[in-house]
Amino acid sequence: MTAHDGMLVIGGSAGGIEALIEVVARLPADLPAAVLVTVHVGGNSRSSLPRVLARAGRLPATHARHGEPLRSGHIYVAPPDRHLLAVAGVARLSSGPRVNRHRPAVDVMFASAARWGGDRVVALVLSGVLDDGAVGSALVARAGGRVLVQDTADALFDSMPRAALSAVPGAVGAPAAGLAEVIGKTFEDLLDERVGTEVDEVGSEPEMAGPHMGDSDDPGFLSADEARLTRLSCPECSGGLAEIELTGLRYYRCHVGHQYSPQSLEAAQREAVEAKLWAAAAALEEHAALARHLAAHSGPASDDRVLEGYRRGADRSAHTARSLLASLANREDGTPLLDPATDAGPGAAR
């Protein structure tokens, strides 16, 4: 892949694979761009997506390999549990911190493409839940690239396309069946407009998913883009979260490098709250059991007031645990705090 070739980066989540297959089926064999794909998958999954995509269209598709040169007309799929980045014309795989609770994450891939590819990049956001891809879309647009989204009326889950549209109001939307044509036309326009300028490798955009993503030179201080330290803690590691603002779009990053767009952070905090509540209920039940055991087995010489204190403490803890468990299991809308069939609350999907 030369500095004058294009780069198509595609991200999706729930409902995105169906749309991705439809797009790939219509891409031309002579597409003047390498195609990088990130779809949210579980870390322990075995992915057959490259084989599915290769059968669907005319472009060969493989899981990306670390250090592999990127070639136009080839599809590179992020493997499970690895971020996929494009750096200086080669694929890089990273086991860096999760972004928006995912590895691989769309924002990581988009950000790296924007940093290296600049105005040669076309980013496409497909069906998915929450807002992964929104920050990356803003970075692509800021670097001079183009942003496309699956039409929200056509997407099975429209949250990711809507978030990208909010981040980049000028993004172009189209149904999945028409996106390949829009992609082809967009690359024609980009190639016509380019005059051979190179992209500055040392951009001013925030880093994502590097070895020490977001760290300053001195770990005791914030990096330049982390302008505001909040009182919020990272749902994954409990580190402090810095709020970063990007042309009106805010996102959050901890010192370790876990990063969240607003919707993803809210969902992660909600999930952390539920885990803490279940843990609190279990701890209360354990205390009640211990206090009852001590009351029953402390021996005849024990102070009656101490034994009565054990019994009262056991009753209080048991009552609080029952109330908490009832609140967790029986909500007014009949749903748990998080829908067990999803990764981010009622109506969401991984």
224-260 burial code (b ≥16 CB/10 A, e <16): ebbeeeeeeebbeeeeebbbbebeebebbbbbbbbbb
Parallel, antiparallel, or unpaired for β 172-174 and 146-150?
parallel
Is 218 catalytic? The answer is no
Contacts of 70 (CB under 8 A, 6+ apart): 1, 7, 34, 36, 76, 86, 89, 90, 91
Marked catalytic residue, from 13, 159, 223, 264: 13
φ, ψ (nearest 5 deg) of residue 236: -95, -40
Marked catalytic residue, from 40, 63, 83, 255: 40
φ, ψ (nearest 5 deg) of residue 10: -125, 130
Angle between helices 304-329 and 262-297 in degrees, nearest 10: 150
Is 13 catalytic? The answer is yes
Marked catalytic residue, from 5, 107, 132, 215: 132
Is 166 catalytic? The answer is no
DSSP 168: -
Of 132, 83, 149, which is closest to residue 112 (Cα–Cα)? 83
Q: Which two tokens stand for residue 33?
A: 């761009």
Of 111, 130, 131, 125, which is closest to residue 154 (Cα–Cα)? 125
Task: Cite the active site residues.
Answer: 13, 40, 132
